[in-house]
C-alpha cells in the first residue's frame, strides 16, 4: 500500500510512512473478519427461475429444428448387404450350354465327279436351273468352235448359263478361255434380249485371280463346293 500524504510505498507490517512519518490507520476487526455465511453463500430456492420470452421461444424452436434435420430425426440405416449375384456358377453355366453342332466330314471329289453330279442335278448349283437341249444335242459337255462347255443350262428367267468346273490351279487359264465361249453363245445361240452368263465352280479362288474375277462380276459368278456324308436312322 502507499502513503496517503506522500504516496510513498509502505512496506508490509510498518506502522508509519518511512518518508513523511505519517502514522498509518489500524484496520478494524470487522474489516479483517470474513463475511458471515448467511451473506456470502447464495440462498437455495426451490422456485423455478424466470425465463424471458426470447429464451422461451428459443427453447420451443429447438425440437422443430431437430425434426427438420433428417440425420437428427432418425438414425442412419445400416448399409444393406450386397445382393447375391444372379449369374450362375461357372460349372452350372457350362452345363446349360448347347452341345456343339457336329459338322459332317467333307468328302473330296474330283472335277470329273463334280461335273457328273451337276449334270444330273443342276438345281444343286442354283434353284430352278435345268439342262439346255437343242434338238438331239444335250447341254452336257457342249462343244463349240472356241472350246467345250461343261454344262449349258437355262435358269428360271430363261437366260443361258454356262456352267464350268475347274481346279484352283487352272483358274487363271479358265478365265481367259471362258470369255470366247460366252461370246460365241451370245452371238450364235442366244435369242434377241436373252441374257447370257456363266457360273464357275471352284474349290478355292486364288488371290491372283480375284482382280480378274472382279472385272467379270457382271457376267461371271463364282461358287465353291463342299460335299458331306451323313447317316440317318431308318424307322422300322
Of the pLDDT bands very low, low, confident and very high (cuts 50, 70, 90), residue 1 is: low
What's the pLDDT score for residue 231?
A: 84
Compare 176 and 181 and report the one with higher pLDDT: 181
Residue 190 has pLDDT above 70, yes or no: yes
105-112: long-range contacts at Cβ-Cβ below 8 A with a sequence spacing of 24 or more? 105/228, 105/229, 106/226, 106/227, 106/228, 107/227, 107/228, 107/229, 109/227, 111/165, 111/166, 111/167
User: Measuring CA to CA, how many Å separate 47 from each of 37, 38, 50, 194?
Assistant: 22, 19, 9, 124
Question: 130-131 and 106-107: which strand pairing?
Answer: unpaired
Closest of 187, 113, 183 to residue 149, by C-alpha: 183
pLDDT of res. 228: 75
Q: How confident is the model at residue 11 (pLDDT cuts 50, 70, 90)?
A: confident
- If one compares 109 and 217, the residue with the highest pLDDT of the two is 217
Q: What tens digit of pLDDT does each residue of 27-74 get?
A: 555 445 555 554 444 454 445 555 555 555 555 555 555 445 544 445
The CATH number fitting domain 106-227, selected from 3.40.50.720, 3.40.1350.10, 2.60.40.1180, 3.40.190.10: 3.40.1350.10
Contact 132, 154 (CB under 8 A): yes
- The pairing of strands 140-142 and 137-138 is unpaired
Q: For residues 215 and 134, which has the higher predicted lDDT (pLDDT)?
A: 215
- Residue 121, pLDDT score: 93
What radius of gyration do the chain's Cα atoms show? 60
pLDDT digits over 208-232, tens only?
A: 889 988 999 999 999 988 777 778 8
pTM of the model: 0.53
Sign of CA pseudo-dihedral 123, 204, 169, 209: positive
Amino acid at each position: 500500500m502507499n502513503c496517503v500524504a506522500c504516496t510513498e510505498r509502505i512496506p508490509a507490517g510498518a506502522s508509519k510512512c518511512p518518508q513523511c512519518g505519517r502514522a498509518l490507520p489500524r484496520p478494524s476487526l470487522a474489516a479483517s473478519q470474513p463475511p458471515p455465511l448467511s451473506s456470502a453463500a447464495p440462498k437455495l430456492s426451490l422456485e423455478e427461475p424466470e425465463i424471458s420470452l426470447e429464451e422461451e421461444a428459443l427453447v420451443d424452436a429447438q425440437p422443430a429444428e431437430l425434426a427438420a434435420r433428417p440425420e437428427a430425426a432418425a438414425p442412419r440405416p445400416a448399409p444393406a448387404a450386397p445382393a447375391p449375384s444372379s449369374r450362375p456358377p461357372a460349372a452350372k453355366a457350362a452345363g446349360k450350354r448347347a452341345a456343339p453342332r457336329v459338322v459332317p466330314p467333307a468328302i473330296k471329289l474330283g472335277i470329273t465327279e463334280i461335273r457328273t453330279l451337276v449334270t444330273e442335278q443342276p438345281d444343286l448349283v442354283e434353284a430352278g436351273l435345268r439342262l439346255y437341249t437343242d434338238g438331239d444335242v444335250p447341254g452336257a459337255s457342249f462343244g463349240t468352235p472356241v472350246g467345250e462347255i461343261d454344262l449349258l443350262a437355262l435358269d428360271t428367267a430363261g437366260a443361258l448359263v454356262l456352267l464350268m468346273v475347274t481346279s484352283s490351279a487352272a483358274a487363271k487359264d479358265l478365265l481367259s478361255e471362258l470369255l470366247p465361249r460366252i461370246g460365241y453363245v451370245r452371238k450364235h445361240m442366244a435369242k434377241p434380249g436373252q441374257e447370257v452368263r456363266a457360273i464357275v465352280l471352284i474349290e478355292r479362288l486364288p488371290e491372283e485371280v480375284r482382280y480378274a474375277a472382279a472385272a467379270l462380276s457382271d457376267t461371271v459368278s463364282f461358287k465353291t463346293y463342299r460335299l458331306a456324308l451323313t447317316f440317318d436312322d431308318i424307322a422300322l
